[in-house]
């Protein structure tokens, strides 16, 4: 198992869902466990015959890839919305809250690793293309960001800049990032930005 294979699977996560299915899950709640589980099953399908075990919740790690029951890769997952990483006029918001949580996860995973273990934290960021129905989860904050910043591209760009800036000079770096198309649900197109930190 190499990191290129892992990164490819993360980049293609949207293809593991039916048409518009991921948009539904992304717009009706945080799909962290769903994304982890899809990735786990996909990796297990590829790696089990090669002597690897792909386990969820191994020693409280989100996802572990083991060989001979030794950890080869440990993965932690976080999901946020683009509004989480942009300033708000209505509330004091730490735009680095989720990157900080990722660092905590990486530190926790380090305690379970050995010298040969690769450790990554994956941040998925839900990005609606327009304001959403007020009855949906997080609608107030999503729509508040649209009211303040006027358009989806500005919100996405600010989120991307803030997230990349946080990791730019630290010990942990973003080693892969990209965007996944989720499709459309209830008239709203959605995408997932992703950042793999190691």
What's the pLDDT tens digit per position in 80-130?
Answer: 999 999 999 888 999 999 999 999 999 999 999 999 999 999 999 999 999
What is the residue-wise DSSP string for 77-90? Answer: EEEEEGGGGS--SS
Which sign does the torsion angle of CA 92, 177, 129, 126 carry?
negative
| pTM for the predicted model, two decimal places | 0.96
Instruction: Give the model's confidence band at 2: pLDDT under 50 very low, under 70 low, under 90 confident, else very high.
Output: confident
The pLDDT of residue 27 is: 98
The pLDDT of residue 3 is: 87
The pLDDT of residue 75 is: 98
Using the predicted structure, report yes or no on whether residue 1 has a pLDDT greater than 80. Answer: no
CA distance 19 to 15: 9
The pLDDT of residue 194 is: 99
What residues contact 113, with CB distance under 8 A and at least 6 apart?
71, 74, 119
Instruction: Give the model's confidence band at 169: pLDDT under 50 very low, under 70 low, under 90 confident, else very high.
Output: confident
pLDDT > 90: what percent of the chain? 95
What's the pLDDT tens digit per position in 69-80?
Answer: 999 999 999 999
Instruction: Give the model's confidence band at 161: pLDDT under 50 very low, under 70 low, under 90 confident, else very high.
Output: very high
The pLDDT of residue 91 is: 86
């Amino acid at each position: 198992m190499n990191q290129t294979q892992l990164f490819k699977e993360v980049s293609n996560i949207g293809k593991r869902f039916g048409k518009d299915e991921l948009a539904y899950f992304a717009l009706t709640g945080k799909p962290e466990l769903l994304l982890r589980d899809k990735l786990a099953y996909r990796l297990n399908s590829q790696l089990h015959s090669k002597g690897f075990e792909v386990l969820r919740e191994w020693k409280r790690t989100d996802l572990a890839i083991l060989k001979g029951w030794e950890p080869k890769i440990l993965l932690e997952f976080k999901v946020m919305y683009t509004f989480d990483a942009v300033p708000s006029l209505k509330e004091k918001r730490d735009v680095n809250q989720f990157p900080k949580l990722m660092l905590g996860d990486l530190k926790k995973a380090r305690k379970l690793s050995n010298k040969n273990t690769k450790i990554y934290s994956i941040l998925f960021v839900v990005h609606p293309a327009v304001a959403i129905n007020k009855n949906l989860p997080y609608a107030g904050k999503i729509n508040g960001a649209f009211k303040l910043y006027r358009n989806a591209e500005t919100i996405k760009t600010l989120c991307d800049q803030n997230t990349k800036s946080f990791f730019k000079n630290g010990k942990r770096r973003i080693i892969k990032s990209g965007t996944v198309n989720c499709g459309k649900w209830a008239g709203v197109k959605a995408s997932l930005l992703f950042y793999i930190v190691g």
